[in-house]
Structure 1
Amino acid sequence: MSDALTTDLYEVTMALSYLREGMTRAATFSLFVRNLPPERGFAVCAGAEAVLEFLREYEVGDADLEAFAEVLQRPAADLEPLRGLRFTGEARAVPEGRIVLAGEPLLEITAPLPEAQLVETLVLNRLNHQTAVASKCARCVLAARGRQVVDFSLRRTHGPEAGYQAARLGAMVGFAGTSNVAAAHAEDLRAVGTMAHSYIEAFGSEEAAFRAFARAHPGPVTFLVDTYDTLTGAATAARVLRDLGLGPGCAIRLDSGDLGALAVRSRAILDAAGLPDTRIVASGGLDEYAVDRLVRSGAPIDVYAVGTRIGVAADAPYLDSAYKLVEYAGRPVMKLSAAKVTAPGRKQVFRRPGFRDVVALYGEEPPPDGEPLLEVLMRDGRRTGPRAAMRESRRRYERDLAALPPSARTVDAPSAPAAALSPRLACLAAEVRARLEGAVRRRPDRGG
C-alpha cells in the first residue's frame, strides 16, 4: 500500500463518482490560508518539497484498491476505475522559504478532476503543518535578535517525521543547529546537544560527571548545571573547565528556574573564574515570547534552545488553510458560503515593495514593480527541476524578511500586511457571484 491511502474517505468517493460520470477534464484547486493566527504578522511558506515528492510518486496500486474496497465495504470491481490512477498534472507553488500573507495561494494544482481531488488531504497536511512550524521558528529567531537559536524539539513533536521537519525548517529560517541526529545527517545541519540530568545523577557528584564527560568528548563541551543547585553547579563547571583548559567554545546550560536572574549570577561566576568566553545556553519551555522577554531584560544568554512549543507550534498549531476548486473545464467557480467565500479562476500573486501584494488572475501582466510568487514546479506529473537546496530556501527567506515591514516582525501584536485583489480578479468574482446567485433565484420552488 502507498501514500494514496493517506486521504479522507470523501476524496475517494468523489473521485470515483467523477470517473463514473466522465468528469475528467482539467480542474484547478487553489490552496491558501484564509486568515493568519492573531499573533502572526506573516507566514513562511514550507512543505512544497514534500508535496512535490508525494505527487511525483502518487499511484493507486492493486493493494491500495483492495484497501479502498475493504474500507468502503464494496467489491473491488466497483472501484476498478481508480486502478492505476497517477498524478499527471501541473503544480504551481510558492517556493519554500518565501514569506506569504493571508488569502494568497501557496499552491495551485491543475490536473484531471479525479487526480486533483484525490491528492487534497495529504497536500493540505504537508503544507499546513510545515508552514505553521516554519513561521513559529522564524519568530524565535527574530525574538533572539542575533543570538543563536537551536532546536531541541524531537522528543515532544507529534511523531518523528514532525521532529525531522522542525529541525529542517528551523535551519531554513536561521536556527544554528539541532539535537536531531537524523535531520542533522540528512540535511547537513550542525548537531548540538549537552547531557541529561540522568547523566549527572548517575555519577557520585556533579564534578565527577563533568570530568567524565570531558574525557569522553575532548572538543568544546556544554555542562548542564541545574540538576541540584544551579549556582553551585555553575561554580563546579567553571572549576572543571578552568582546570582542564576547556573554556573557549564551551558552555553551561540553564534548564529551570528564573533563567534571567540565574544567567546574570552564572555569568559573574564564569567571569570571576577567568572564563569570559564560556557561553550560557538557556532551555526549558522556551518560545519566542519567553526569548523576547529574556532578551529585553538584558539576560546574558548566548544561545536559546527551543523545543516543545516550537515543534508543535504551540500557540498556533494549525493554519486556517483550504484547498478549493476554482476552475473546472475552463469554467471559473467559487464558493459563496458565509465567511468562506473563495475567489474564482487560476491565479498568480505579485509581490510589490513593502508587501503590497496583489492576487491576480493567471496570465495577467504584472504591475511594473511586481514579482510573481507562484512558480511551475511540476508539469505532466514530473518535477521541472531538482529539489531546492537549503541555502537557496534560506536566501529566499532572508530576502523577503529584509523587505517585510517592521510592524509585521514584532513578537507581540504584529500587524500583518494585507494582499489586494487585482481589478480583473475582483470583476470576475463579481460576475461569477452574480451568475451563481441568479441561478439560485431561478430554481423552481420546492416548498410544499
Structure 2
Amino acid sequence: MTPQATATDLYEVTMALSYLREGMTAPATFSLFVRDVPPQRGFLVSAGLESALDYLEGLRVEPADAEAFAAALHRPAADLAPLAGLRFTGEVWGVPEGRIVLPGEPLLEVTAPLPEAQLVETCLLNMLNHQTSLASKAVRCVLAADGRPVVDFSLRRTHGIESGIQAARVGGLVGFAATSNVAAAQAFGLPATGTMAHSYVEAFADEEDAFRAFARTHPGPVTLLVDTYDTEAGTAVAARVLRELNRGPGCGIRLDSGDLGVLAERCRRLLDDAGLPEVRIVASGGLDEFAVDALVRSGAPIDVFAVGTRVGVAADAPYLDSAYKLVAYDGTPVMKLSTAKVTAPGPKQVWRRPGFRDVIGTRDERPPADGGPLLHRVMTDGERVGPRPALDASRRLLTDDLRTLPAEAKRIHDPVSPHATISPRLSRLTDEVRRRLQGTARAA
C-alpha cells in the first residue's frame, strides 16, 4: 500500500508551503541515517528502500490533498493551493536492501527541490525505520538457528496488516524459510506454511479424530499440533496416525508451549521409537533469537523454529534512533550543531572496506583503494534507475556481508558493533562549516 500525500506530519506541510512562498526551491540534500544501534544489536540490515522508492514515484499532491492540508490548518483552501500538483522530481542515493549498515552511515540520501525533499521526510523515516528494525531483528534469529529453518508466524501480532506483510517480506530477505502470511507469500514469491490451531483439536472428540480428519483433508505432508492436552500423549497419537498413513518425509509435530527443550527431547524419543526418525519437530510460542539461541545451545532436537510476536514487532528494540537531516541547500553544505546531535555536512558516500572498516566521506572524493561504495543512485528525476531487485538478490547481498562481518558483531548476547570512521576530507568540511555557522551566530 503506497501512502497518500496526506500521510505526513503537519509540520512538513507548513515548512513546504513556506519554502514555496519564499521562493526557496533550489536543490536540497537530506541524509537519512541511524545514530546508533539499539542494545543487543551488533549491526543493522538495510530494508525499506523499495517501499520508499514506490512512495516517491507515486507521490502527487492533488487538489483534494491541498484542501485536506488547509482544513488541518484551519486555513482557506486557497492558502494551500501552491502545494497542489507537487510531485517528487529528485534524485535518491540508497543502500541496497540486504546490505549491512553501521551507526551513522546514511541509509538513503535525497536531493530534490527543497519543498519536495522536505515533504517526504515523515514517510521515508517511517518506511526505513520500521523495516530496518524488523530485518535487523529477524536476521539474528537466522544466526541463532545455526542452519535450522526459521519461519514467520507473526501476522496476528504485528501492528497492523501492512506491518505484518512487511515483516514477512523482510523475513524472506534475511533468510526465513517460509511465512504463514498468505498475502505476503503470494506477493513476494515466498513459501507459505501452516499447521493447525488448538481450537481445531478441541473441536473434535479426541486428538486422534482431529489428526486423522486433518490428514484426510490434506493429502501431502502434515504437521500436527500435539500440546493441546498432554504433549507426550499427543505425540504418541500423532506418531500412530502418521505411521499408519505412511505419509513419508516432510511431516512433523509442533510444540507450542511448556519447556520446549525438555519436551523436544521426550517427543524425539517417542517418534524415534515409533520408527519415525524423519518426522520433524517444529517449535513455536514466544520465540525470538534469545530463545532460539538457548535451545540450539542446549542441543534440543528441534528442526524448525517458528517465530512470531517478538520478532514481528522487534519487541526488544521496536524503533531506531533514526534521523533525516538537511546537509546541503543550493550548493552550500549545512549541518546541525545541537548538543549530542551534530550532523556532518554535504552529500556523502560510504566505502565498505575489508573487516567492516567502513569510511564515511564526501560523495565526490576519491575512494580508498580497498573500498567499495555502499550508496548507489537508485532514482533520478523522480524515477527508478533500473529494475526492482529480486528478493533473493537482496538475500545474497546479506549473505555475502554476513560472511565477512566480525564475529563479535554477530553474537546474540552482548554484540559489539563496528563503527565507521570519517574521511579526512569530510572532517575538514565539517570543521569549515562549523566555523562558518558559529561565526554567523556570533555576528547575529
Q: TM-score, normalised by structure 1?
A: 0.98
AA partner of residue 391 (structure 1): D
- Give 4+ residue runs of structure 1 displaced > 4 Å after superposition: none
AA partner of residue 269 (structure 2): A
Displacement of 1:207 in angstroms is: 0.3
Q: Quote the residue 1:395 is aligned against.
A: 396
Change (3 A) 1:358 1:2: closer
Q: Quote the residue 1:99 is aligned against.
A: 100
Structure 2 unpaired stretches of 5+? none
Q: Quote the residue 2:84 is aligned against.
A: 83
Q: TM-score, normalised by structure 2?
A: 0.99
Q: Percent identity?
A: 70
Q: Quote the residue 2:39 is aligned against.
A: 38
Change (3 A) 1:2 1:139: closer
AA partner of residue 143 (structure 1): A
- Tell me the distance in 1 between the aligned counterparts of 2:135 and 2:237: 38
> How do residues 185-334 of structure 1 correspond to structure 2 at under 5 angstroms?
185-334=186-335
> How do residues 34-183 of structure 1 correspond to structure 2 at under 5 angstroms?
34-183=35-184
SS of 1:165's partner is helix
- Tell me the distance in 2 between the aligned counterparts of 1:195 and 1:311: 20
Q: After superposition, what is the alpha-carbon deviation per residue over 1:60-100, rounded to whole angstroms, capped at 9, x for unaligned?
A: 00110111111111011111110100100001000100000
Query: For the Cα contact (< 8 Å) 2:63–2:81, is it kept in 1?
Result: no
- Tell me the distance in 2 between the aligned counterparts of 1:416 and 1:238: 46
- Tell me the distance in 2 between the aligned counterparts of 1:2 and 1:249: 41
Q: What is the root-mean-square deviation of aligned Cα atoms in Å?
A: 0.9
AA partner of residue 85 (structure 1): L
SS of 1:5's partner is coil
Query: For the Cα contact (< 8 Å) 2:3–2:55, is it kept in 1?
Result: no
AA partner of residue 441 (structure 1): R
AA partner of residue 61 (structure 1): E
- Count of matched residue pairs: 443
Displacement of 1:104 in angstroms is: 0.2
Q: After superposition, what is the alpha-carbon deviation per residue over 1:337-386, rounded to whole angstroms, capped at 9, x for unaligned?
A: 11100000000000000000000001111100000011111000011111
Q: Quote the residue 1:446 is aligned against.
A: none
SS of 1:392's partner is helix
SS of 1:401's partner is helix
Query: For the Cα contact (< 8 Å) 2:50–2:388, is it kept in 1?
Result: yes
> How do residues 370-409 of structure 1 correspond to structure 2 at under 5 angstroms?
370-409=371-410
Query: For the Cα contact (< 8 Å) 1:2–1:64, is it kept in 2?
Result: no
- Tell me the distance in 1 between the aligned counterparts of 2:146 and 2:376: 32
SS of 2:215's partner is helix
Query: For the Cα contact (< 8 Å) 2:226–2:253, is it kept in 1?
Result: yes
AA partner of residue 63 (structure 1): A
Q: Quote the residue 1:365 is aligned against.
A: 366
Q: After superposition, what is the alpha-carbon deviation per residue over 1:110-156, rounded to whole angstroms, capped at 9, x for unaligned?
A: 00000000000000000000000001010000000000100000000
AA partner of residue 354 (structure 1): G
- Tell me the distance in 2 between the aligned counterparts of 1:79 and 1:230: 64
AA partner of residue 70 (structure 1): A
Q: Quote the residue 2:430 is aligned against.
A: 429
Displacement of 1:247 in angstroms is: 4.3
Q: Quote the residue 1:351 is aligned against.
A: 352
- Tell me the distance in 1 between the aligned counterparts of 2:248 and 2:232: 18
SS of 2:196's partner is coil
AA partner of residue 83 (structure 1): A
Query: For the Cα contact (< 8 Å) 1:252–1:281, is it kept in 2?
Result: yes
- Tell me the distance in 2 between the aligned counterparts of 1:103 and 1:337: 16
Q: Quote the residue 1:24 is aligned against.
A: 25
Query: For the Cα contact (< 8 Å) 1:238–1:273, is it kept in 2?
Result: yes
SS of 2:192's partner is coil
Query: For the Cα contact (< 8 Å) 1:2–1:61, is it kept in 2?
Result: no
- Tell me the distance in 2 between the aligned counterparts of 1:431 and 1:92: 25
Q: Is it true that 1:14 corresponds to 2:20 in the alignment?
A: no
- Tell me the distance in 1 between the aligned counterparts of 2:352 and 2:38: 21
